[in-house]
Amino acid sequence: MPDIPHKLPSNAQEWEDAMDEMELTGKTVHGAELASASRVEYKQFLLLRVLWVGHHATDLPKMLPGFNGWITKAEKMLKGYKSWDIYCQSFTRPDAGEGNFSIARHYQLEVTNTKDETDPLSLATPIAHRTRSRILSRRLAETHLETPSKSTNISAALNIEDFSIHDPLDDSEMLIPETPISKISESPSPFQEITPASNEPDNVLYPPTKDEQIVNCALVIFLNALTIPFKLANNWTLHRKVFKAKFDDASFEARTDGYLDDRHGKAQAIIEVKPVRRSRKSVPIQMQESAQMVAWIKNDCEKLPNPMDMRHFLVAQDRHEIYLIVAQYHVDYVKYLTDSKHSSESPSFMTMHMFGPWDTLELSHMKNLGPILLAISLRADAELRKIRSG
């Protein structure tokens, strides 16, 4: 059983201490010698130089210059979007109603459907319920590290299914209902972040969703319902995009659960979903998301050596909860990934800033989150139009 910590490093000192403990001081991702190591998964994560920092959901605009302006624009757009009104009212009705969000709401509720045969300690969906292509893979959470034929230095996989829980703390036309729709209150119950409310184990209170694809559909369909009517230059897709990061003596491949597509196959944000709450598998989930982000950034910087914005978005849904993760890095980190001979006085890092969760079953949470998700698409749309215009 892989031996991983209860939390990942959140600052340079914690990372240096972990590197020392794992006897990795001085090593880089370009020349790792990790064959047959019992803790290879965590070692590989450390060599990616990723820090994880949690934030309150309400703090997201603070780290993104000008993002409040995009949220304000999104709020105005949603006020004139009848299907959004219908969706918000569905939280107090026995059915999802009509409109562009009806299917999204259906899948958000379907996420809570569970079956007893689902192993509460596994992130993998039971084989009988797996709907992804068996030809491509039987693994639902597939981000793995592989070694190129010329090297056998890196032999183990960053595969979330290999981990078990050992944390003791463990502008289109809208569909309008035939009956009149009353105006949504401008001041619903205030948004309050989720706080632990019980000592019951998560697998008792929140059993895993019976199929991870249900979570994926719930998220992507909701994202599309938010954005499609506004005819943006991008769109959210279920396509499982593959990123491959190649280093001197090793490579790894990361497969996402979807992404914000610029309509030419380039990702502007990526998606990752899980059938269980993040609190049950936080460290292995974060390790997987780190590898995905590194692979994406390495792909991007090879095509565009001087990226305009060194912040990348990841939208994650774990069962019924949504997190937004902003990866922040600097030029020195890109050099670390791309140049094995690069050296600096102090190590550079990518910091994964995690915000959330937002509960898809709570109206106040979704009224807060909807404009933020639309703002992410609008911001990316503006970047695309700027690039293509000049």
CA distances, 364 to each of 108, 323, 342, 367 (Å): 15, 15, 48, 5
* Confidence at residue 206, expressed as pLDDT on a 0 to 100 scale: 60
Fill in the DSSP letter of residue 348. Answer: -
105/119 Cα distance (integer angstroms) = 26
Torsion sign over Cα 41, 345, 63, 268: negative
CB 166 within 8 A of CB 264: no
Render each residue's pLDDT in the chain as its tens digit; 390 residues.
357 899 999 999 999 999 999 999 989 988 764 332 223 489 889 999 999 999 998 899 888 889 999 999 999 999 999 999 999 999 998 877 789 999 999 999 999 886 544 444 444 434 434 444 443 334 333 333 433 334 334 434 444 344 433 333 333 333 333 333 334 444 556 667 665 444 455 555 566 666 889 999 999 999 999 999 999 999 999 999 999 888 887 888 889 999 999 999 999 999 999 999 998 889 999 999 999 999 999 988 766 555 556 789 999 999 999 999 999 999 999 999 988 888 778 899 999 999 999 999 999 999 999 999 999 999 999 999 988 886
Q: How far is residue 215's CA from residue 128's CA, in Å, rounded to a whole number? A: 17
Cα–Cα distance measured from residue 207 to residue 350, given in angstroms and rounded to the nearest whole number: 33
Looking at residue 387, its pLDDT comes to 85
* Alpha-carbon span 284 to 4, nearest angstrom: 8
Structural element, H or E, at residue 355 = strand 350-359
- Give the pairing of strands 235-237 and 242-246: unpaired
77, 180, 251, 285 from 186: Cα distances, Å: 15, 18, 51, 36
Pairing of strands 143-146, 258-261: unpaired
Instruction: Provide the pLDDT for residue 357.
Output: 96
CA 307 to chain centre: 21
Across the chain, which distance is largest between two alpha carbons, in Å? 68
How far is C-alpha 44 from the geometric centre of its chain's CA atoms? 20
What pLDDT does residue 13 have? 98
Is it true that the peptide bond before 357 is cis, omega within 30 degrees of 0? Answer: yes
The residue count of the chain comes to 390
pLDDT of residue 264: 92
Say what the pLDDT of residue 132 is. Answer: 40
CB neighbour list of residue 182: distance below 8 Å, 6 or more residues apart:
89
Alpha helix ranges (H) inside the chain: 12-21, 40-47, 67-79, 82-89, 102-110, 202-205, 212-227, 282-303, 331-338, 363-389
